[in-house]
Each structure stands twice: as structure tokens, then as C-alpha cells.
Amino acid sequence: MTSKKQQYEIVEGMQRQIDDFFRSAETTVKKLKGYTYDDDLYSDLYKDARGVRPTQEMIDYWNTKAVPKVKQKIWDMLCEELVWVYFQI
């Protein structure tokens, strides 16, 4: 018989596996649809392009409400701004 702690660890491990599966599936769909944005680099790109980190509201929007098509548009806009900042094009 397993203890409560062991049961918790098992469930926690299963949740990590499920999260990894969905993260991997999301990455695959992004690649198939031609999306180039990276959720993990959004804040860094924003800071490089605009000199400050995005507000918490912007991060929350990015992480919870923005659909991939919108994320890609934001990403492309920030990339264009970054080119302008560094190369004055």
C-alpha cells in the first residue's frame, strides 16, 4: 500500500508528464503553422526592443489570452522594432 506522500508524488509526476506532452504538442503545431514566436523569450525580446520589460498585464495577456496568430503578430512587430533600434533602418 502506498502512503499519501507517495500517492502525491505519483500524481505530481503524472502532471509533469501531461504538461510536457501538451507543451510538446503546442510546439509541434506552432512549427506546422509556421509560427516563430517563443513564449519563453517574449519578455527578453520585448526588453531588447523597447528597453524595459513588459508589464505584468502584458505578460498575463501573452500567457493566457493571446492566440497563436496574435502572438506571432506581436512577435513580428517586436522583431521589427529591434532591427530598427540596433540598425536604425
**Cell numbers found for residue 56:** 505584468
Convert 29-58 to b/e letters by CB count within 10 Å (16 or more is b): ebeeeebebeeeebeebbeebeeeebeeee
pLDDT of residue 59: 97
pTM, entire model: 0.62
Q: pLDDT per position in the chain (89 positions), as tens?
A: 778 888 888 888 888 888 777 677 676 666 667 889 999 999 999 999 999 999 999 999 999 999 999 999 999 999 999 998 888 75
